[in-house]
């Protein structure tokens, strides 16, 4: 190996092309990711009014220093206090976390055997299976949820099947229930779990399992003591990749769930679109972001480490 290449000597030369390559996407992300988050924070400290934009204070750049001080004084943390004292919002956050945790566990339970079987399939079959698992992920999210409405509705196929088999006497109300939400989430997020799991399992050295067998471990012990511990990076990536977005999920609970306890994504949606309370919607979003910042940072750390390893 050439030492210079591995130790990053190429950082030395900065041609204008490279500068542009760094600057352009970086500037874009600062403008469209960082700045909007900061603006949301500012608005979360504002009050709702019936105007356009529907919040005060609005910073008037031509007002000079006094206007700026006045603007700062008008900001308040009142909205945050409201979120933490209103049991409705607390219940909504808890519901989201509960649904995310439980459904992520379910997805792991269902996804692991699938990923494991994929990794053990012969080479040629593996790539076909990979396409088969990815394909639903490429078809629209909304369509996949809609497909389940077809099945789960009162006179849908599932009830028809159960009735004709004589398992139930009257149709069950599957839709507008937590069960439907869990089915929808597991169905939609399954590929997010299977793919990282498959990636780690597929890379795993067959000799390790053979060595364990050679040393006298029965298959189930090999699975629990060799395969599962070694696939931990994949498990972690899959769990985070599911858990984080599920917490903020809107479409699935909205179309399949009941309206008794809303998930936090729905609450945010309602605050924004129905109540037109932008400051409050911002508060809800930012508190969610704070809850998720740990998992997000962990996921980013995993991603960066995986890429370093692949180098």
Partner 1 sequence: MSDAAAPPALRFDGVTRRFGSVVAIDRLSLDIFAGEFFALLGPSGCGKSTPLRLAAGFDAPSEGRILLHGAPLTAPPHLRPVNMMFQSYALFPHMSVADNVTFGLKQEGLPKAEIAARVSEMLALVQLSALGARKPHQLSGGQRQRVALARALAKRPQVLLLDEPLAALDKKLRAETQFELKRLQRRLGTTFVIVTHDQEEAMTVADRMAVMQAGTVAQVGTPDEIYEHPASRYVADFIGDVNLLQGRVVRTDASSVVVACDGFGEIIAGPAPEARVGETIWLALRPEKIAVSEGGRAGVGQNEVTGTVVEVGYRGEQSMLEVRTAAGSILKVSVTNRRRRAADGPAVGESVRLTFAADDIVALTR
Partner 2 sequence: MRKGLSFTNLTALALGLAFLYLPIAILVIYSFNTSRLVTVWGGWSTRWYTALLADRALLDAAFVSLRVGFISATAASILGTLAAVALARARLFRLRASFSALLYAPIVMPEVITGLTLLLFFVAIDLDRGVWTVTLAHITVTMCFVTLIVQARLASFDWSLEDAAMDLGAPPSRAFLAVTLPLIWPAVAAGWLLAFTLSLDDLVIASFTTGPGATTLPIRIYSDVRLGVKPEINAICTVMIATVALVVIAASLLTKRRAAH
Which residues of this protein are in contact with partner 1, per CB under 8 A?
A: 1-5, 7-10, 12-13, 15
φ/ψ bin of 153: left (φ > 0), alpha (ψ from -120 to 50), beta (otherwise): beta
Shortest Cβ distance from residue 41 to partner 2 (Å)? 9
Q: From the CB of residue 201, how many other CB atoms can be counted at a distance below 10 Å? A: 19
Handedness of CA 115, 305, 136, 106 (dihedral sign): positive
Shortest Cβ distance from residue 123 to partner 1 (Å)? 19
Binding partner 2 by CB under 8 A: which of 248, 253, 257, 277?
A: 248
Asked if 274 is part of the footprint of partner 2 (rule: CB under 8 A), the reply reads no
Q: Kindly tell me which of 91 and 291 has the beta carbon lying closer to partner 2.
A: 291
Q: Kindly tell me which of 7 and 62 has the beta carbon lying closer to partner 1.
A: 7
CA 50 to each of CA 43, 44, 187: distance values in angstroms, whole numbers, following the listed order: 15, 16, 41
The residues, ordered by sequence, that sit 6+ positions from 156 with a Cβ below 8 Å of its Cβ are 149, 150, 174
SS3 at position 55: strand
Alpha helices in the chain (DSSP H): 3-6, 16-29, 35-44, 64-74, 78-85, 87-120, 123-138, 141-152, 157-165, 178-203, 206-214, 219-222, 228-230, 232-247, 251-256, 264-269, 278-310
Q: Kindly tell me which of 17 and 52 has the beta carbon lying closer to partner 1.
A: 17
Q: Kindly tell me which of 10 and 51 has the beta carbon lying closer to partner 1.
A: 10
193 binds, among partner 1, partner 2, none (CB under 5 to 8 A by kind): none
Shortest Cβ distance from residue 228 to partner 2 (Å)? 13
Q: Which of residues 280-299 bind partner 2 (CB under 8 A)?
A: 281-282, 285, 288-289, 292, 295-297, 299
Q: Which of residues 127-156 bind partner 2 (CB under 8 A)?
A: 127, 129, 131-136, 138-144, 146-151, 153, 155-156
Q: Kindly tell me which of 86 and 300 has the beta carbon lying closer to partner 2.
A: 300
Asked if 33 is part of the footprint of partner 2 (rule: CB under 8 A), the reply reads yes
H or E element at residue 56: strand 55-56
d(CA 213, CA 224): 13
Shortest Cβ distance from residue 277 to partner 1 (Å)? 52
Shortest Cβ distance from residue 82 to partner 2 (Å)? 18
Asked if 229 is part of the footprint of partner 2 (rule: CB under 8 A), the reply reads no
Asked if 247 is part of the footprint of partner 2 (rule: CB under 8 A), the reply reads yes
Q: Kindly tell me which of 14 and 51 has the beta carbon lying closer to partner 1.
A: 14
Closest of 123, 111, 298, 310 to residue 195, by C-alpha: 111
Asked if 212 is part of the footprint of partner 2 (rule: CB under 8 A), the reply reads no
């Amino acid at each position: 190996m050439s030492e210079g290449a591995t130790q990053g000597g190429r950082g030395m030369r900065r041609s204008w092309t490279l500068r542009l390559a760094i600057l352009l996407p970086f500037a874009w992300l600062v403008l469209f990711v960082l700045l909007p988050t900061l603006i949301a924070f500012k608005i979360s400290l504002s009050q709702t009014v019936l105007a356009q934009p529907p919040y005060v204070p609005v910073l008037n750049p031509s007002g000079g220093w006094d206007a700026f001080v006045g603007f700062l004084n008008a900001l308040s943390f009142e909205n945050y206090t409201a979120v933490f004292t209103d049991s409705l919002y607390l219940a909504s956050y808890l519901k989201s976390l509960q649904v995310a945790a439980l459904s992520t566990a379910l997805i792991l339970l269902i996804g692991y055997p699938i990923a494991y079987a994929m990794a053990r399939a012969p080479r040629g079959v593996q790539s076909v299976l990979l396409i088969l698992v990815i394909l639903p992920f490429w078809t629209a999210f909304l369509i996949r949820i809609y497909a389940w409405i077809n099945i789960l509705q009162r006179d849908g196929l599932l009830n028809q099947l159960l009735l004709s088999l004589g398992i139930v006497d009257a149709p069950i109300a599957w839709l507008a229930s937590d069960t439907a939400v869990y089915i929808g989430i597991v169905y939609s997020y399954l590929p997010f779990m299977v793919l990282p799991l498959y990636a780690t399992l597929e890379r795993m050295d067959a000799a390790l399992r053979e060595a364990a067998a050679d040393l006298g471990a029965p298959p189930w012990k090999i699975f629990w003591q060799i395969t599962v511990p070694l696939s931990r990076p994949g498990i972690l990536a899959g769990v985070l990749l599911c858990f984080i977005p599920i917490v903020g999920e809107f479409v699935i609970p909205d179309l399949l769930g009941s309206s008794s306890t809303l998930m936090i994504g729905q609450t945010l949606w309602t605050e924004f679109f129905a109540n037109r309370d932008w400051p409050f919607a911002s508060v809800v979003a930012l508190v969610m972001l704070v809850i998720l910042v740990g998992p997000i940072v962990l996921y980013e750390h995993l991603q960066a480490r995986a890429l370093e390893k692949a180098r």
